[in-house]
A and B are shown apart, each in its own frame.
Chain A
Amino acid sequence: MVLIQETQAHGQAPGDAGETATERLERVSAAAYRIRHHALNMGEVQGQGYVGQALGAADMFAAVYADQLRLEPADPEWEGRDRFLLSTGHYAIGHYAALAEAGIVPVEELETYGSDDSRLPMSGMSTYTPGMEISGGSLGHGLTIAVGMALGLRYKGSTARVYNFLSDGELDEGSTWEAAMGAHHHQLGDLTAMVDINALQADGKTDSVLRTEPVTEKWESFGWYTQRVDGNDMSALLAAFDNAAAQAAAVGRPSVILCDTKVGRGVPLLEDREKAHFMRIEEHEWQLCREQLTAGYKRKAAR
């Protein structure tokens, strides 16, 4: 990764213009594998945590951090950067892994996750961590901030794009829909929302807590350029991000990528476990999880 960053042009997205589609897919898939691996290591330090969510969303994190975002890893505050706003503070474990993958947070630092005096608290906050644009955690905030950020950047003449990562649970919050209306009203064509639909909330399955479907039709009716993909299919994800990028404009329709994901993805032991917001993993299971992750990744890479 360090090599790739050093050869990156100023503020370019990590993607190498000369690579083939297959090479690109392999590169981003490898990043997703490492993000999952980092997340398991962080979860082991804590003995528990939001590992299931991090594994489920790792492909989304990899697609943006290893392929889409224009960043300066050495200067996380670089004015021309694309903004990535994490609404779901508890997904920070996955976000930190992605920040490490992007070279913004040292990999060695990940083991401090959730410890006293760490820059990597359990719930993500902009005031603690380089590269964290906002303090998430109170759900339904991210998209409202993203609207103001996109308006502000457009007013200043910036071409930076704004991405907001939110969860399907956040679709319960009225503020998310205030922001969805606002983004369409103001024609924020450089704004992209990415919704992790893992169909799980704190109290149970989303359709038993508060039914959000039909999600696609909702976003379409709010005037957004809407795509729905398997959020654990990297080819589909990259195609969706390419489509969103192709129609991005200073003035235009905002875009949303609805990503159906699976909690615990990549680790069969956890994929099959009863789904819980806060997944319990026994001490002896962490190594097993890593072995299953690596075996699965190698099997896929060999195909």
Chain B
Amino acid sequence: MSTSTAPKLKTSAMIASFADPGQKTASAPFGHALVKAAQEDDRIVGLTADLGKYTDMHIFAQAFPERFFQMGMAEQLLFGAAAGFAETGLVPFASTYSVFAARRAYDFLCLDSAEPNLNVNIVGGLPGLTTGYGPSHQATEDMAIFRGMPNLTIVDPCDSIDIEQAVPQLAASEGPTYLRLLRGNVPTVLDEYDYTFELGKAKVLRGGADVVFVSSGLMTMRALQAAKALAGHNVDVAVVHTPTIKPFDAETVLAELNTDRLAVTLENHSVIGGLFETVASAVVTAGLGKKVVPVALPDEFLDAGALPTLHERYGLTVQRIVAKVLAELG
């Protein structure tokens, strides 16, 4: 090729994979976990709003056709009906994209499920920046919207391990939950660590003397990769994974932050109202005079494009994280 400019990357599919080339992945971990949970708990039913194939709910629908309910492209009905199912003693998992759950059906989730504290499990695809389709599909503020809803548990899983282990715990927990779904071929990362998912608990994945990362969702994967890269710069980084955003395990996180290490939060979400502000409020409430550096999406409507391009542009890549940490350390 004689051309000197690299070809531009393509947006490609709506749900672009964020797995690195050659990375170990698991296929449709949510769908398979829900089937497994349903084999042991006959109260579990599955609902979707015309996005079964795009939220891995189709795996459940194939395994349990009589326990799967297609509600059509009608998100208010989806979540009103999910509350109705829960009122009869069943345990619904209702899937759509996070944008539609958070923005479009909020009132139905809030009043029909959260106020009566029903066991309704919201499964939201495309959380944060996991599609290049632009603001119509990018749920960059879903946690900001949902964190103000009383009774709602919010889970931001890192990988296939988190999802597999979270699903039965979400079914077993009493009130409503929101799962930021990772679907398709989802990276498997946490099996390399001495780790199990426990609802409501943060876990220290690795220790480190110079910097402490507090991260959730797919950014825990990036945090672990960045920690390895920073070791090459003689920077020793600890990583604390906080898959449950609400209720937040402030005790574990504050114990890690109450040191002289540089504190950084990492999240696949707007800097407004997500993990960073959750950590910041815990720090202030505890009276720690501690600076916290956010790695998060900007308070903007994000561009459309290819996911690797956008992750680089908005600072979510390993290279951008490493550069930020080195700059902070001066």
Contact = CB atoms under 8 A, between A and B. Distances in A.
Interface of A: 125-127, 133-135, 137-138, 140-141, 143-153, 155-156, 158, 174-175, 178-179, 181-182, 185-186
A273 B92 CA distance: 48
A181 B111 contact: no
Given A151-B69, A174-B76, A181-B74, A144 B84 contact: yes
9 contacts: A140-B76, A141-B80, A144-B77, A144-B79, A149-B88, A155-B90, A156-B90, A178-B72, A179-B77
Given A145-B83, A148-B87, A149-B87, A127 B115 contact: yes
B88 A156 contact: yes
A134 B87 contact: yes
Interface of B: 45, 66-67, 69, 71-72, 74, 76-77, 79-90, 92, 107-108, 111-112, 115-116
A152 B87 contact: yes
A147 B87 contact: no
Contact of A145 (B67, B69, B81, B89): B81
A105 B164 CA distance: 46
A179 B77 CA distance: 6
A115 B147 CA distance: 31
B90 A146 contact: no
Contacts of A134: 83, 87, 112, 116
B67 to A, nearest CB: 7
A174 B107 CA distance: 13
B77 A125 contact: no
A80 B163 CA distance: 36
A164 to B, nearest CB: 10
Contacts of B86: 148
A138 B106 CA distance: 12
Contacts of B72: 178, 181-182, 185
Per DSSP, are chain A's interface residues mostly helix, strand or loop, or mixed? helix
Best-surrounded residue of A127, A134, A148, A158 (most CB of chain B within 10 A): A148
A148 B87 CA distance: 9
Given A144-B77, A156-B90, A151 B108 contact: no
Which 6 residue pairs are nearest across A and B when measured between Cβ atoms? A148-B84, A144-B80, A148-B81, A152-B88, A149-B84, A178-B74
Best-surrounded residue of B77, B83, B111 (most CB of chain A within 10 A): B77
Contacts of B74: 175, 178, 181-182
Given A175-B76, A185-B72, 17 more contacts: A125-B115, A134-B112, A138-B107, A144-B77, A144-B112, A146-B84, A147-B80, A148-B83, A148-B87, A148-B92, A149-B87, A151-B81, A152-B88, A175-B74, A175-B77, A178-B76, A182-B77
A148 B112 CA distance: 11
Contacts of A152: 45, 84-85, 87-90
B234 to A, nearest CB: 57
A128 to B, nearest CB: 11
Nearest to B47: A148
A178 B85 contact: no
Nearest to B90: A152
Nearest to A151: B69
A170 to B, nearest CB: 12
A158 B116 CA distance: 23
Contacts of A133: 87
